[in-house]
Structure 1
Amino acid sequence: MQGAAARAQIKALVTDFDGVHTDNTVLLDMDGREFVRCSRADGMGMEMLRVRGVKLLVLSRESDGVVAARARKLQMECVHNVKDKLPVLDDWRQRNGLSWQELAYIGDDINDLECLAASGLPVAPSNARPEVKDICKIVLQSAGGNGALRELCDHLIERELVSEVLD
């Protein structure tokens, strides 16, 4: 489809973890192990982008291993325990040969503001902080941990902002 190819622009989706993959709730057992709740629908959305050749990265301040475990399950690259996200994101972007305009970023809190402002498509789940929503081009109807990522993936595909499925 000629029109779709002309519109396709997003080649990477970078996600925060807490408040995006999760609803920001953490459960602790008596040994201090953390548990979070994620939406399986988000996993299908990530798969739909991956088969279209979209690069996927989880970039999180969180240090707990649950972040890396979920990223592995979704077959996403993961960099976590990051205090200053923008330099790490810029390095990843350059190593992957991406322009800022080809990058969508979804985050929910103030530590995502710089990455959101730099990205070509800044996105917030409905549960994001007001100052985050204010700078985003898209504010989703769904909250983090409740299908926000799937909603974003569907949006990118339906509006032909990502390439067609590769053979």
Structure 2
Amino acid sequence: MFPEDSASEEPSVRMGEDTEIGTAVGYNLRSWKCLKLLALNADGVLFTPTALQGPAGLHLRTYHSRDVVGVRRLRRTGVQVLLLSDEDDPVFNTLAEREKCSLRQNCKDKLSELDSHRQELGLSWSEVGYVGHDESDVECMRRVGVSACADNSDSLVQRIARFISNYAGAKGALREFTDQVVELNKMGPKLDTEVEGLIR
């Protein structure tokens, strides 16, 4: 069952093995800042990595509607969303345009693409989050303020993620994380004070 938009219960999520032990809520709040940009690997996080090849070269991918709703909730709260992909797939263009997300395809160096976009927006790394899926995401995940992944992501990705969803990629993992981003962003300046109280 997916968490409801209005749910107040704390999520039962896991932390990667290589991350610092956080608080009882399941992820490391010590370094959490109000996120203003969320970047993610379009392959495996928003869309299933499996592609269907139809007649006349028709290319199909699937995604979960709840994940897209999560992206919309972020956009409504002022968080920018950047989709990154190793490939060049027209399917990504359609969704990115409809949901008003930035898109960088055929990325040979995701960290450089993310850094360039971050600087264009005038953001610090602590204001950037990243949801990864494969080894090509590792450097980005290590650089940003908060990193996350699905429970079927690459083992290395899971070891360094600060938030590991209970759901698979393209099957609700992104929505579970974006719900937490929306709620924690609402706390704003109060967060640092409350975290200090939790970790004393």
Is 1:142 matched with 2:174? no
Partner deviation per Cα, 1:85-108 (whole Å, 9 max, x = no partner):
111111100110111111010010
For residues 73 and 25 of structure 1, the distance between their equivalents in structure 2, rounded to whole angstroms, comes to: 22
For residues 126 and 67 of structure 1, the distance between their equivalents in structure 2, rounded to whole angstroms, comes to: 23
| Alignment gaps of 5+ in structure 1 | 1-6
The 1:163–1:70 alpha-carbon spacing in structure 2 relative to 1, beyond 3 Å, is farther
For residues 68 and 162 of structure 1, the distance between their equivalents in structure 2, rounded to whole angstroms, comes to: 30
Among 97, 107, 120, the residue aligned to 1:82:
107
The one-letter amino acid of 1:17's match is A
The one-letter amino acid of 1:161's match is N
For residues 103 and 69 of structure 1, the distance between their equivalents in structure 2, rounded to whole angstroms, comes to: 24
Among 78, 91, 95, the residue aligned to 1:70:
95
Among 109, 114, 126, the residue aligned to 2:134:
109
Q: Which has the larger radius of gyration?
A: 2
The 1:52–1:8 alpha-carbon spacing in structure 2 relative to 1, beyond 3 Å, is farther
Equivalence map 1:42-61=2 (5 Å): 42-61=67-86
For residues 41 and 187 of structure 2, the distance between their equivalents in structure 1, rounded to whole angstroms, comes to: 23
Secondary structure of 1:57's match?
Answer: strand
Among 97, 103, 108, the residue aligned to 2:122:
97
For residues 186 and 152 of structure 2, the distance between their equivalents in structure 1, rounded to whole angstroms, comes to: 25
- Conserved? CA contact 1:54–1:162, under 8 Å: no
Deviation at 1:8, TM superposition (A): 5.4
The one-letter amino acid of 1:137's match is R
For residues 83 and 40 of structure 1, the distance between their equivalents in structure 2, rounded to whole angstroms, comes to: 28
Q: How many residue pairs get matched?
A: 157
TM-score, with structure 2 as normaliser: 0.74
Secondary structure of 1:145's match?
Answer: coil
- Relative contact order, CA 8 A, sep 6+: which one is greater? 1
The one-letter amino acid of 2:117's match is W
Deviation at 1:32, TM superposition (A): 2.3
Partner deviation per Cα, 1:36-60 (whole Å, 9 max, x = no partner):
0011111211111111110111011
Among 153, 156, 172, the residue aligned to 1:128:
153
- Conserved? CA contact 1:16–1:112, under 8 Å: yes
| Alignment gaps of 5+ in structure 2 | 1-31, 189-200
